[in-house]
A = this chain, B = another copy of it.
């Protein structure tokens, strides 16, 4: 059964990225950008992300703070078979529920491994807080799980993405933010004043200005975001006039560009 959104018209989410390897800079997170885009498509706004270490106290306190502040919380990382995978233990403690070997998860792993190969280490991956609902993992079988508004997923992006596909029907979103974006070959400071005026005339449109440096050319990406298409069209039309008046070389973009290429 879908959860009910709790905080008014905007449905909010927080992502907890759990893992020393992200904080040390050894591993580049790829889950934030994926979830930010996919959640918005579902009308859920990613409002905060925290990257925290494999530390029980930190995981529990962070989780207990954010699960009360946001409609949905997603976690990535720490649900594998090794000693440093402590996310399930921490979620159970945060909710004050016993950690059990989930019978359904155990059955999935038993069906997956050859007889006798479901070792103690692998069985760790069947542990969930009592009463958790599983999240299917079509890639490598060991499931994620949901407790109330908290969704616990793997850290490996291919697996996380498959788990997200398995769970997204459980989310109830609001109106997604639509966006228009235009890349301008002008430094931010040349458009700043006009842009502030545009923002004042369109308070319901979120107007962002993001400098970039691509192949040595400094430019600015201007992004308009709003839930209503009409408003967005009107603001975009004014922005177009404004950019033409500045003589700016401007290219409207059809869809959000791949996250990787924007900032460099």
Interface residues of A (CB under 8 A from B): 19-30, 32-38, 40, 45-54, 58, 80-85, 119-122, 124-125, 140, 155-158, 177, 179, 181, 188-189, 191-193, 195-196, 199, 206-213, 218, 223, 225, 256-257, 259-260, 262-264
Contact = CB atoms under 8 A, between A and B. Distances in A.
A82 B156 CA distance: 37
A54 B262 contact: no
Given A52-B48, A156-B212, A158-B213, A196 B82 contact: yes
B196 A83 contact: yes
Return the 6 tightest CB-CB contacts between A and B, nearest first.
A25-B36, A121-B192, A25-B37, A49-B51, A82-B209, A83-B196
Main secondary structure of the interface of A (DSSP, over half): mixed
Most chain B beta-carbon neighbours within 10 Å: one of A23, A35, A46, A260: A23
A257 to B, nearest CB: 7
A92 to B, nearest CB: 19
A238 to B, nearest CB: 15
Nearest to A177: B24
Given A21-B208, A223-B26, A189 B119 contact: yes
